[in-house]
């Protein structure tokens, strides 16, 4: 339970606000410049989608919203919806997609809201919308209700390791040589330093799951640090960090720049796992339900566009542009088209249609639909590591029903003419299976917790 009282003040030195963050980021390898502050630029201003005829039922209450994003592939549906005109197609003609210096800045900006110079919502790791709704990470623990509206993507993330650890058995399964090696570093007084991009959320969960599956206790045997995604390459270069977990293009960049190798893709740890989400302030959604659905329709169309093989080169070009990620296009194009170089004598992963980042559909069905069962896993995993109190599970359903607005996703999908077969009929995706044989049954999260050998709770 020690982590539950996590204080946002720990962050303030690195994540104060986009202004300070931007200064910090400018000196780092592959970091986006900040033309016009934190606002995103426009790679190809000409919108291509033809606007639909709006009816009184579909005319948005406002044409304007400000959505934050972090420059990793998870943001693609928001950027593509803007650049390809899918937001405008449904009447949202003034959507601003705004680059956030890091997750702490995104949290701060949604807390203040767009009217006060912040953002209305955007891209989030899980369970950040829950933590913000419950006042766990906010100033003075104020509760800012947020609604989870869609999942942006699955997969596309990985765990990168610095080159000095080549040949030490640091692969997907750490049992044996890898575990012995990591424990030996602790013995020697130089514990293995692994970074995530924000505590108590996806990247923190993936790296902890990976260690714990091998019997390495992430709370005792290694040091887990928080490093903004865009700084990870620089930190690995300077040797202040041994491993990190984040989304592309950063893992691919590590290998392309010969700084490190990939121990595992998240697609290997948990195939078709839930990754990042679109969530917006509840007050904004309550005031603008039709605009919310228009945004959802634009995002859904962008997600379908992003999954098409023939669109990947254009997608890489748009995302890599100076106004967005500002990275060499090849670094983004490789994982989207030919797959991942893993390094350290591991076979390359080439089946991008199966193990790459996916936005609309995967082997389990809908990617875009926000399954409540996935939110429950994030809450359960939060209890596992002591990020949320044990009582969370007893109240989880009520909390999920409040935050997860899959009903709006379904209404928007129907309005957009999405095929019936692509609209899930259950809010649960059913039993989830992990690479180490563990299973999460949403009907019995406690059984999952009981099955785990290493946990804080």
Measured distance CA(339)–CA(320) in Å, rounded: 17
> With respect to Ca ion, which residue has the nearer C-beta, 247 or 370?
247
- Among the listed ranges 157-165, 329-337, 397-405, 417-425, the one in contact with Ca ion (CB under 5 A) is 157-165
Measured distance CA(326)–CA(319) in Å, rounded: 8
Q: Is 65 helix (H, G, I), strand (E, B) or coil?
A: strand
- Among the listed ranges 155-163, 215-223, 228-236, 448-456, the one in contact with Ca ion (CB under 5 A) is 155-163
> With respect to Ca ion, which residue has the nearer C-beta, 250 or 371?
250
The least distance separating Ca ion from the CB of residue 128, rounded to whole angstroms, comes to: 11
- Among the listed ranges 29-37, 156-164, 166-174, 188-196, the one in contact with Ca ion (CB under 5 A) is 156-164
The least distance separating Ca ion from the CB of residue 74, rounded to whole angstroms, comes to: 5
> With respect to Ca ion, which residue has the nearer C-beta, 159 or 236?
159
> With respect to Ca ion, which residue has the nearer C-beta, 31 or 202?
202
The least distance separating Ca ion from the CB of residue 451, rounded to whole angstroms, comes to: 25
Is 370 exposed, middle or buried (CB count within 10 Å of its CB: 0-12, 13-18, 19+)?
buried
- Among the listed ranges 11-19, 136-144, 245-253, 331-339, the one in contact with Ca ion (CB under 5 A) is 245-253
The least distance separating Ca ion from the CB of residue 126, rounded to whole angstroms, comes to: 9
Contact residue for Ca ion among 18, 157, 368, 404 (CB under 5 A): 157
Q: Which pair of tokens denotes residue 190?
A: 């130089």
Measuring CA to CA, which residue among 260, 266, 307 is closest to residue 156? 266
Chain position whose Cβ is nearest to Ca ion: 247
- Among the listed ranges 149-157, 225-233, 280-288, 402-410, the one in contact with Ca ion (CB under 5 A) is 149-157
> With respect to Ca ion, which residue has the nearer C-beta, 88 or 254?
254
Q: Is 121 helix (H, G, I), strand (E, B) or coil?
A: strand
Site string for Ca ion, 307-346 (x = CB under 5 A): ----------------------------------------
Q: Is 282 in the site for Ca ion (CB under 5 A)?
A: no
Residues in contact with 335: Cβ distance below 8 Å, sequence separation at least 6, in sequence order:
73, 156, 248, 249, 252, 352, 356, 357
Measured distance CA(287)–CA(445) in Å, rounded: 35
> With respect to Ca ion, which residue has the nearer C-beta, 221 or 307?
307
Compute the C-alpha angle 125/130/135, nearest 5°: 115
The least distance separating Ca ion from the CB of residue 227, rounded to whole angstroms, comes to: 14
What Å distances lie between residue 250 and 238, 253, 304, 325, CA to CA?
16, 5, 24, 11
Measuring CA to CA, which residue among 328, 309, 304 is closest to residue 317? 328
> With respect to Ca ion, which residue has the nearer C-beta, 151 or 288?
151
Measured distance CA(161)–CA(174) in Å, rounded: 13
Contact residue for Ca ion among 21, 247, 335, 424 (CB under 5 A): 247
> With respect to Ca ion, which residue has the nearer C-beta, 109 or 153?
153
Site string for Ca ion, 72-101 (x = CB under 5 A): ------------------------------
Measured distance CA(379)–CA(397) in Å, rounded: 10
Q: Which pair of tokens denotes residue 277?
A: 């989400």
Site string for Ca ion, 187-216 (x = CB under 5 A): ---------------x--------------
The least distance separating Ca ion from the CB of residue 425, rounded to whole angstroms, comes to: 28
- Among the listed ranges 188-196, 241-249, 298-306, 330-338, the one in contact with Ca ion (CB under 5 A) is 241-249
Output the CA torsion sign for 337, 338, 343, 347: positive
Map tokens 């390791």 to a residue: 161
Contacts with Ca ion: how many residues (CB under 5 A)? 3
Q: Is 333 helix (H, G, I), strand (E, B) or coil?
A: helix
Residues in contact with 95: Cβ distance below 8 Å, sequence separation at least 6, in sequence order:
64, 65, 66, 67, 81, 82, 87, 88, 295, 298
The least distance separating Ca ion from the CB of residue 443, rounded to whole angstroms, comes to: 27
The least distance separating Ca ion from the CB of residue 303, rounded to whole angstroms, comes to: 16
> With respect to Ca ion, which residue has the nearer C-beta, 315 or 412?
315
Residues in contact with 33: Cβ distance below 8 Å, sequence separation at least 6, in sequence order:
26, 322, 326
The H or E element spanning position 281 is strand 277-281
The least distance separating Ca ion from the CB of residue 297, rounded to whole angstroms, comes to: 24
Identify each DSSP E strand in 363-452 by its residue range. Answer: 365-366, 432-433, 439-440
The least distance separating Ca ion from the CB of residue 70, rounded to whole angstroms, comes to: 8
Measured distance CA(162)–CA(165) in Å, rounded: 6
The least distance separating Ca ion from the CB of residue 229, rounded to whole angstroms, comes to: 8
> With respect to Ca ion, which residue has the nearer C-beta, 127 or 282?
127
**Is the peptide bond prior to 249 cis by the omega test (within 30 degrees of 0)?**
yes
The least distance separating Ca ion from the CB of residue 277, rounded to whole angstroms, comes to: 10
List residues near Ca ion by CB under 5 A: 157, 202, 247
């Amino acid at each position: 339970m020690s982590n539950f009282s996590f204080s946002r003040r720990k962050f303030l030195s690195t994540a104060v606000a986009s202004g300070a963050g931007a200064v910090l980021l400018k000196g780092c390898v592959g970091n986006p410049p900040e033309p016009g502050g934190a606002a995103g630029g426009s790679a190809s201003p000409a919108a291509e989608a033809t606007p639909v005829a709006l009816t009184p039922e579909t005319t948005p209450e406002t044409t304007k919203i400000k959505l934050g994003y972090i420059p990793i592939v998870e943001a693609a549906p928001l950027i593509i919806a803007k650049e390809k005109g899918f937001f405008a197609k449904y009447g949202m003609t003034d959507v601003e997609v705004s680059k956030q210096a890091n997750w702490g800045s995104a949290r701060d900006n949604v807390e203040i809201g767009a009217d006060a110079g912040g953002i209305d919502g955007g891209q989030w790791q899980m369970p950040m919308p829950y933590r913000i709704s419950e006042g766990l990470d906010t100033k003075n623990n104020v509760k800012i209700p947020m609604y989870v509206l869609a999942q942006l993507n699955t997969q596309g993330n990985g765990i990168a390791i610095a080159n000095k650890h080549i040949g030490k058995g640091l692969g997907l399964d750490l049992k044996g040589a890898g575990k012995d090696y990591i424990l030996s570093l602790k013995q020697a007084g130089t514990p293995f330093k692994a970074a995530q991009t924000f505590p108590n959320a996806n990247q923190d969960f993936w790296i902890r799951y990976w260690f714990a599956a091998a019997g390495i206790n992430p709370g005792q045997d290694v040091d887990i640090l928080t490093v903004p995604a865009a700084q990870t390459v620089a930190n690995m270069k300077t040797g202040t960090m041994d491993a990190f977990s984040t989304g592309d293009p950063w893992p691919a960049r590590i290998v392309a720049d010969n700084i490190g190798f990939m121990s595992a893709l998240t697609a290997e740890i948990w195939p078709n796992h839930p990754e990042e989400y679109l969530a917006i302030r509840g007050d904004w959604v309550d005031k603008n339900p039709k605009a919310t659905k228009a945004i959802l329709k634009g995002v859904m169309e962008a997600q379908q566009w992003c999954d098409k093989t023939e669109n990947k080169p254009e997608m890489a070009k748009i995302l890599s542009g100076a106004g967005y990620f500002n990275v060499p296009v090849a670094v983004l194009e490789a994982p989207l088209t030919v797959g991942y170089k893993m390094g350290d004598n591991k076979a390359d992963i080439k089946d991008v249609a199966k193990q790459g980042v996916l936005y609309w559909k995967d082997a389990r069905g809908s990617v875009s639909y926000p399954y409540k069962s996935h939110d429950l896993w994030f809450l359960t995993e939060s209890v596992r590591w002591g990020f949320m109190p044990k009582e969370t599970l007893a109240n989880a359903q009520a909390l999920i029903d409040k935050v997860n607005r899959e009903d709006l996703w379904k209404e928007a999908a129907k309005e957009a003419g999405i095929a019936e077969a692509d609209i899930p009929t259950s809010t649960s995706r059913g039993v989830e299976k992990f690479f180490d044989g563990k299973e999460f049954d949403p009907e019995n999260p406690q059984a999952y917790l009981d099955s785990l050998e290493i946990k804080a709770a």
